[in-house]
A and B are shown apart, each in its own frame.
Chain A
């Protein structure tokens, strides 16, 4: 799976402070750390960036590119910041993101076309977040048509089905899985991408990684192409590189088998099995899912 490192994010106090003070050092650390861990892209999340949007994004893109040659994924809801960033990207960038909301299609998609960037396209539309796989399909087909007419080919589109926290609505996690399997038919050539960490929002902090990693293995099996994920979760990176085949195999078995006997497994293996069962909707989620 293509991994897009999520850690350059204004939600982090360190990063937000560094951007405000134009201090390259924390940025360097974050960039080199993620690049060194083998991320394929780096996400630059500056949020809405109300203050000096263009100048800020320009500084950030240039600073990041001082330390890495990796392609960038520009993550902002501010079109001014987006264009300023695109202008300075040395590699083909990803625009994160447009949605099926009319205003978004009309402002973000043309930018993407102008700079020949890739486009993260979410299934949200004017009616909000679709509630199941079929509604997601209907929504994405409309936005794809709009994008194709502007000249953005499927090959440049990364579909974001929008992953909701398992603690908020377990059924949405299931319809996510259903939907990604429909993508090759709906949009041949397009990729799928998600904000992986969103899955574990509201879960106990020390257990979020376990949910994210297990889910990555599950959706990878269903054909997911890419995920925006932590560039510092070493186990996630190992799993993705295929260096923990026994855990991957175990997760696959937990997906397929109704009653997997876990009594002879190590604690870590048991945790992966229990987490798979929760994510597959076999047992009701609670924040203490490992304790039963």
Chain B
């Protein structure tokens, strides 16, 4: 009788811990490709984070706003609802108020918001800046300091600000999201630079994501190849868990903004596709998209 060959790999993706205490979550750790339970071990299910903002959202569609309508003016209540009502086990706080092109809130103000949440809710927290190298560097250093020892996941850490942010993360015991856009060579380059002084088991990589219909295939290929370089080629600098910010990209699309059902499916399908490619941690916006993905993978 025919037996399908099994591919075993001798190394695993590094396991990264998010948060501290009993609600801490682990991601990564697998020695095989996504959902290949027949070939290896995947000790941790993919991490699914719900996002919230540190200010009232602008330009959100009615259906992404609706689940949070009563709490959007208060980040702490918003976070609480994500956990209590929608069952999120990881949260992602986007510090939109710090955008230098927008409200340009100070690093201190942002750090205060984060600390307030961390002190009140003991749950793994991703904290994202706005992708502006200079400002993010100031903001994330302040956040790292204010929440010392809480093992946050801070990002995005880019080529132009990795030194400052990673140094603060190291000093205060946080993990980081290293972001290099759609290029495995650049992902590796940034990891090499980081690992000269930063522990690899505290790095999650973000190859940046595109939504369904807007280049999702490219993201799929790059996630897949990063995982292959790590597992098959045993490339030490490519064995980091992979992060994908699905929320931000999906809800920008015309299609997701056209109707509630379509939007939720757009986000769930994009997210699920990246999990199949090998992503270890997703950021989602709509609680229903979170529920759909949870059901699919449980």
Contacts and interface: CB of A to CB of B under 8 A. Distances in A.
A264 B38 CA distance: 42
A292 B238 CA distance: 12
Given A292-B236, A292-B237, A287 B229 contact: no
A143 to B, nearest CB: 32
Nearest to A283: B235
Interface of B: prevailing SS: helix
B202 interface: no
A287 B237 contact: no
A170, A283, A286, most chain B CB atoms within 10 A: A286
B192 A291 contact: yes
A167 interface: yes
B74 interface: no
B185 A286 contact: yes
B184 interface: yes
A166 to B, nearest CB: 9
Interface in A99-157: none
Nearest to B226: A284
B236 A284 contact: no
A288 B235 contact: no
B192 A284 contact: no
B184 A288 contact: no
Contacts of B233: 283-284
A201 interface: no
B192 A292 contact: yes
Contacts of A285: 185, 188
A284 B189 contact: no
Contacts of A288: 188-189, 192-193
Interface string B187-229: 0110011001000000000000000000000000000000001
Interface residues of B, number: 14
Interface residues of A, number: 10
A285 B229 CA distance: 11
B235 A284 contact: yes
A287 B189 CA distance: 6
A276 B235 CA distance: 16
Nearest to B189: A286
Interface string A272-292: 000000000001111110011
A285 B189 CA distance: 9
Contacts, number: 31
Interface of A: prevailing SS: loop
A178 to B, nearest CB: 19
Contacts of B196: 291
A170 B184 CA distance: 11
Nearest to B190: A286
A286 B238 CA distance: 11
B231 to A, nearest CB: 13
A284 B193 contact: no
A229 to B, nearest CB: 24
B162 to A, nearest CB: 13
Contacts of A286: 185-186, 188-189, 192, 237
B242 to A, nearest CB: 15
A288 B186 CA distance: 9
Contacts of A284: 184-185, 188, 229, 233, 235, 237-238
Nearest to A287: B189
A270 B233 CA distance: 20
A167 B236 contact: no
Contacts of B188: 284-286, 288
Contacts of A291: 192, 196
A101 B289 CA distance: 50
A167 B185 contact: yes
A283, A284, A288, A291, most chain B CB atoms within 10 A: A284
Contacts of B235: 283-284
A92 B71 CA distance: 81
A165 to B, nearest CB: 10
A174 to B, nearest CB: 14
B185, B189, B229, most chain A CB atoms within 10 A: B185
Interface string B42-66: 0000000000000000000000000
A140 B35 CA distance: 44
A285 B235 CA distance: 11
- Ranked nearest first, the 5 interchain pairs of A and B with the lowest CB-CB distance are A286-B188, A286-B189, A288-B192, A286-B185, A284-B229
28 contacts: A167-B185, A170-B185, A283-B233, A283-B235, A284-B184, A284-B185, A284-B188, A284-B229, A284-B233, A284-B235, A284-B238, A285-B185, A286-B185, A286-B186, A286-B188, A286-B189, A286-B192, A286-B237, A287-B185, A287-B189, A288-B188, A288-B189, A288-B193, A291-B192, A291-B196, A292-B192, A292-B236, A292-B237
Given A170-B185, A288-B192, A292-B236, 7 more contacts: A167-B185, A283-B235, A284-B184, A284-B229, A284-B235, A285-B188, A291-B196
